[in-house]
Amino acid sequence: MTDTTPRLVTPRGSWTISELQTDPFHLVDSPPPSDSLVLDSGKSEEVVSAILVADGPISRVYLGAKSAGGEPLFNSNTLWYFLTSGTTSKPKQVAHELRGISRSLSSESVERSTWSFLTDIYRMAGIQVVLECLGRNENLVIPDSSMSIAEKLDFMRIHSVDKLSATPSQYRQLLGLRSFAELPLRQITLGGEIADQRLLTALKETFPDSKITHVYATTETGPLFAVSDCLAGFPVTKVTGIRSKLVISDVGELGVKSDATGETHWTGDLVALNQDRYMFTGRNSGFINVGGAKINPQEIESVVMTHENVLDCCARAIPSSVLGELVSLDVVLLNDDPQTLNQLRAICREKLPRLAVPRFFNEVKEIPKNETGKKLRASF
């Protein structure tokens, strides 16, 4: 990119931000009498343009198909409807104003960068990147969701992306591609899943000059905090700080206290204190029930990921007529070593409770993911 004005690039074309501000897709003119706009065409350029032109003139913007119910009791500004990830339950729509989910920007970037992201633009994580990019007057490159991970990487390389946002699972996929190291990355942002230490270290070794930031946010509450010390988990000060909204229940579930109502929204994420740092341990609704014992799939995965030949893995439940559920483990290997699966069995037997040891070990090419880039744990 040699143009001095910030641009949006997608597989369908390239636009300056000022061009998108003129509503080239006639978004403001298109809503029906209900004054709502549904963006579900798969065209990311329309979503970016809508942020610039529809926030104010349109009362409701639905990112993805509109579902029945869930209408809020207020409507002082444009409400943007996001679908939750549906990782462990049916997705639901949550309404936010854009100002409530955008991060505070201290200043415009001194040196113009080019952002990209691998999360769905119809989800909150994607929109947050767009808002930050627009706020900093930077270029934005958005591959299509229909592209393979290799095609997305090529598209980003062609357009010299130097700031990237993705889930930990997506970064593991990228690390498995040799050309990933060719991206001139200066900023790496992770979110949506647990970022383990091995992944953070691998990213730092591949891009030693990059700033690596793990963002914690939920669709219901918006962004909560970010950690940039390249260590797994987050420091105790994120909870004990005087302005912190975070609370932790007796069973270790992370909650967010509302300034307006004082009520606590429980996120479903479990944490455990390790010296001066809280470590994510899993989801309270994602346990596998083996003979009445609750098995944490993330605990299994953290053990398996210690093997040097494992790129990624996913522990999931499969039905059992005797025990209710059994653990099945899908593994993506770096090298085709026939001994690895046997070694993983031995490691799991040594380090995990008996019922948590996977009954089945399956070598796969990749771990299936949902639209938000998170692992799909449902049986298939």
For domain 7-232, the CATH architecture is: 3-Layer(aba) Sandwich (3.40)
What's 288-363's CATH class? alpha beta
Tell me the whole-structure pTM to 2 decimals: 0.82
In the three-class reduction of DSSP (H, G, I as helix; E, B as strand; rest coil), residue 180 is classed as helix
Query: Could you tell me which of 311, 274, 119 has the C-alpha nearest to residue 199?
Result: 311
What average pLDDT does range 126-142 have in this prediction?
91
Q: List the alpha helices (DSSP H) in the chain.
A: 17-20, 44-53, 98-101, 124-135, 149-158, 168-175, 197-206, 237-240, 297-304, 340-351
Please report the pLDDT score of residue 44 as a whole number: 94
Query: Could you tell me the residue ranges of all domains in the chain?
Result: 7-232, 234-283, 288-363
Q: Which residues of 354-364 are buried (b: 16+ CB within 10 A; e: fewer)?
A: ebbbbeebeee
Q: Under 8 Å CB-to-CB from 215, ≥6 apart: which residues?
A: 189, 190, 191, 223, 225, 226
Could you tell me if 254 and 267 are in contact, meaning their C-beta atoms sit under 8 angstroms apart?
Answer: yes
Specify the 3-state DSSP secondary structure of 15.
strand
**pLDDT tens profile 243-252:** 788 999 998 9
What is the per-residue pLDDT across 78-101, written as a single tens digit (0 to 9) for each?
Answer: 888 887 765 545 667 888 888 878
pLDDT bin (cut points 50, 70, 90) of residue 379 is low
Q: What's the confidence (pLDDT) of residue 50?
A: 92
Residues 164 and 185 sit within 8 Å (Cβ to Cβ): yes
Q: How far apart are CA 274 and CA 284, in angstroms?
A: 19
Q: Which two tokens stand for residue 338?
A: 């026939």
Per-residue model confidence as pLDDT tens digits over 353-375:
999 999 999 999 999 887 777 78
pLDDT in tens, 260-273: 778 898 988 999 99
Q: How far apart are CA 118 and CA 374, in angstroms?
A: 11
> What average pLDDT does the chain have?
87
Q: Is 288-363 in the same CATH topology as 7-232?
A: no
At residue 301, does pLDDT exceed 70?
Answer: yes
Residue pair 135/115 in contact (Cβ under 8 Å)? The answer is: no
